Amino acid sequence: MITDWDDAYANGDHIADANSYPGMWAEQSARFRDTLLATQRAELDIAYGTKDREKYDLFLPDNTPKGLVIFVHGGYWKAFDKSSWSHLANGAVAKGWAVCMPSYTLAPDARLSQITSQIAAAINHAAAHIDGPIHLTGHSAGGHLVSRMVSETSPLLSDTLSRVKNTVSISGLHDLRPLLNTAMNDILGLDDQEVAMESAALLRPALPCSITCWVGADERPEFVRQNDLLANIWTGLGASTRAVHAPDKHHFNVISDLAEPDSDLTACLLTPINPEDI
């Protein structure tokens, strides 16, 4: 039985050199943006709403995009923005896809349900500008948000949702009820009603649905449990699902393979589980 819920969800405390990662991500992302700006394949700070953080960056391949990938960042809905993750677009961009990376208003300035609506607005906006299938991915809190997009109560426009062909939730938080027991909820302000409305594992999938729950094998046990939970439940509700435990990966490096065009994670993102069913 878990008695210390704060420790159960504390990632940095259990990762060597955890403090080095944010600076490394920022440096890699800035270098990637500069490279694509030099070839006019990056459009930055596209407004999808009126609030300060309602903006996304769009990264484009050399030719007409095969489709649109959305990456939603993590940080427990209370940290980071789009600028730390640009380099993770490289894998999909190199394979011919456009990649949209949105920012969103952070807690406590927005409730989680408001953040969900913002992500839907960003995806709807980008979908109006890029044709083809839409594939969603996100990390940690971002994994929650993309899973929420393909739930039966998705806030996406119906035309947008019909174009979503694949989702990869990386280290996603799919049942928010345990977070009610953490100190971070002083910032998040979650309550019973909101966690019931926003937890993908407590909702039905929007069918047809192809979703992979991907987690580092070396992550905190609670993240592994959260990962497998959604795949297990949604399989029984008609979705095409799989759960992957990536060897030798922890919470901070599990996303790094998105930057690699030929990685298993990039291939998983760009290929639905059962393409003939989608």
String of DSSP letters for 179-223? GGGSTTHHHH---HHHHHHH-GGGSPBPSS-EEEEEEETTS-HHH
Please tell me the predicted confidence (pLDDT) of residue 276.
53
Please tell me the predicted confidence (pLDDT) of residue 2.
77
Report the SS3 class of residue 17. Answer: coil
8-state DSSP, 172: -
Distance CA 63, CA 79 (A): 34
Q: Going by C-beta distance under 8 Å and a sequence separation of 6 or more, which residues neighbour residue 45? A: 55, 57
pTM over 0.85: yes
Sheet of 134-139, strand order? 42-47, 55-59, 98-102, 68-72, 134-139, 164-170, 210-216, 240-246
Distance CA 259, CA 5 (A): 32
Please tell me the predicted confidence (pLDDT) of residue 3.
83
Mean pLDDT split into 10-residue runs, the chain, 278 residues? 91 95 97 98 98 98 98 98 98 98 98 98 98 98 98 98 98 98 98 98 98 98 98 97 98 98 98 69
Please tell me the predicted confidence (pLDDT) of residue 277.
43
Q: Which whole-number Å values give the CA distances from 202 to 177, 206, 275, in the listed order?
A: 10, 13, 26
Q: Are 183 and 226 in contact (CB under 8 A)?
A: no
Please tell me the predicted confidence (pLDDT) of residue 275.
52
Please tell me the predicted confidence (pLDDT) of residue 153.
98
Please tell me the predicted confidence (pLDDT) of residue 10.
96
Report the SS3 class of residue 155. Answer: coil
Q: Are 105 and 50 in contact (CB under 8 A)?
A: no
